[in-house]
Structure 1
């Protein structure tokens, strides 16, 4: 009797058939899927703050000033102790709820000082807090 030789090749024809059927299904189903649109904001449509924000300037660990650009004096920096800062901001936001607060710091100030002021504002329930960013000189 003659011995059969083992076939050591894989028959890929059934796999190709399945893949072609799947390809046809996806080609038919793809136009039926709803398309999503993303509405990205543009620079021209960016909302400008209606009311200039209050500006907290951190010059050193013990020196904090507050600038209100809506004030009658044109927004000069006024030194504020840390324990009075939250109350002054609450008073200003009570008069104008849309007014935000931005924190500016000297580049030599440790990041920890900025975080302490942010934590103080958060514990005082001050809304609309942000960081002031200045553009780099080229």
Structure 2
């Protein structure tokens, strides 16, 4: 009888071993942390600096970003061709189409510091023609200069 007491029936374990899942999640986290900065698309513009408070944008909508480079070319952050310059007519058509589908989409303009003021005003006029009720300007916060 003593031998039969030592041989207890083993029941199958119904617990899930989560250690491999944690390893997989950590690997995915590292991959996303490395690749996320590479996914940034756009055109390099040297933004003007200003002491301005950040605009409050709706959290559920991505804004339309229109950039004007130093040569006065227009860029729109839509699709895979966001680094390709577009004409004023293309800009007007594309922005109007987006605003018809999503009328409350925020529209922001980023102009290079060297671009003539008139080019930025022309872009803003085009955006108003396309139906953008409010247009924001993108700036950089000025860097503090060390005394001395």
> What TM-score does the superposition give when structure 1 sets the normalisation length?
0.54
Provide the C-alpha distance between the structure 1 equivalents of 2:117 and 2:67, rounded to a whole number of angstroms: 13
The equivalent residue for 1:49 is: 58
Check whether the contact 2:70–2:113 (CA below 8 A) recurs between aligned residues: no
Bigger relative contact order, structure 1 or 2, given CA contacts below 8 A and separation 6+? 2
Shift of residue 77, structure 1, vs aligned partner: 3.1
Which of 50, 59, 75 does residue 65 from structure 1 map onto? 75
- 1:126 and 2:132 aligned: yes
Unpaired runs of at least 5, structure 2: 1-52
Provide the C-alpha distance between the structure 2 equivalents of 1:86 and 1:53, rounded to a whole number of angstroms: 16
Give the number of equivalent residue pairs: 90
Shift of residue 53, structure 1, vs aligned partner: 0.8
Quickly say closer, same or farther: Cα 1:107–1:128, change in 2 above 3 A: same
SS of the residue corresponding to residue 122 of structure 1 reads helix
Provide the C-alpha distance between the structure 2 equivalents of 1:64 and 1:115, rounded to a whole number of angstroms: 12
Mark the structure with the bigger radius of gyration: 1
Shift of residue 62, structure 1, vs aligned partner: 4.2
Provide the C-alpha distance between the structure 1 equivalents of 2:103 and 2:128, rounded to a whole number of angstroms: 16
Quickly say closer, same or farther: Cα 1:87–1:115, change in 2 above 3 A: same
- CA deviations over 1:30-81 (Å, ceiling 9, x no partner): xxxxxxxxxxxxx9xx85422121110000354110014xx5x6x9434221
Shift of residue 106, structure 1, vs aligned partner: 0.5
Structural RMSD (CA): 2.6
SS of the residue corresponding to residue 75 of structure 2 reads strand
Quickly say closer, same or farther: Cα 1:114–1:121, change in 2 above 3 A: same
